[in-house]
Chains A and B, each alone.
Chain A
Amino acid sequence: MATIESAVRAMLITGSTLSAAGIPDSRVTHGYRLQDSILPACTFEVEPEERMTIGANPLLRTRVEIRVVADRTNDALAFRDELQTLCVAGTYDTYEFRAVEWQGHTIDPANTADGDENQPAELACSIEIHYTES
Chain B
Amino acid sequence: MALSGTLASISAGGTTIAAVGTATISINVPAIDVTPIGATVQNYIAGAYGATGSLDIFYDQASGGHTTLDGYAIARSFNAWVLTLDTNQTISGSAVITGYEITAQAQGVTRATVSLQFDGQVTIG
Q: Contact partner of B19 among A56, A59, A102, A103, CB < 8 A?
A: A59
Given contacts A101-B107, A102-B107, A130-B109, contact A52 B21 (CB under 8 A): yes
Q: Which of chain B's residues have a CB closer than 8 A to the CB of A58?
A: 5-6
Q: Which residue of A lies closest to B105 (CB)?
A: A101
Size bin of chain A's contact surface: 10 to 19
Q: Are B21 and A56 in contact (CB under 8 A)?
A: no
Q: Are A59 and B107 in contact (CB under 8 A)?
A: no
Given contacts A58-B6, A59-B58, A130-B58, contact A53 B108 (CB under 8 A): no
Q: B75 on the interface (CB 8 Å rule)?
A: no
Q: Which of chain A's residues have a CB closer than 8 A to the CB of B107?
A: 101-103
Q: Which residue of A lies closest to B58 (CB)?
A: A59
Q: Which residue of A lies closest to B8 (CB)?
A: A54
Q: CA of A58 to CA of B20 in the docked complex: distance in angstroms?
A: 9
- Smallest distance from the beta carbon of B40 to chain A beta carbons, Å? 49
Q: Are B109 and A99 in contact (CB under 8 A)?
A: yes
Q: B51 on the interface (CB 8 Å rule)?
A: no
Q: Which of B8, B9, B10, B58 has the most CB of A within 10 A?
A: B58
Q: Which residue of B lies closest to A132 (CB)?
A: B19
- Smallest distance from the beta carbon of A87 to chain B beta carbons, Å? 11
Q: Which of chain A's residues have a CB closer than 8 A to the CB of B9?
A: 54-55
Q: Which of chain B's residues have a CB closer than 8 A to the CB of A54?
A: 5-6, 8-10, 20-23
Within 4-46 of B, Cβ neighbours of A (below 8 Å) are at 5-10, 18-23
Q: Which residue of A lies closest to B23 (CB)?
A: A54
Q: Are B58 and A52 in contact (CB under 8 A)?
A: yes
**B residues neighboring A (CB under 8 Å):** 5-10, 18-23, 57-58, 60, 107-109
11 contacts between A and B (CB under 8 A): A53-B19, A54-B5, A54-B8, A54-B10, A54-B20, A54-B21, A55-B8, A56-B7, A98-B109, A99-B109, A101-B108
Given contacts A53-B18, A54-B23, A55-B9, 15 further A-B contacts (CB under 8 A): A53-B19, A54-B8, A54-B10, A54-B22, A55-B6, A55-B18, A55-B19, A56-B6, A98-B58, A98-B60, A98-B109, A99-B109, A101-B107, A102-B107, A130-B58
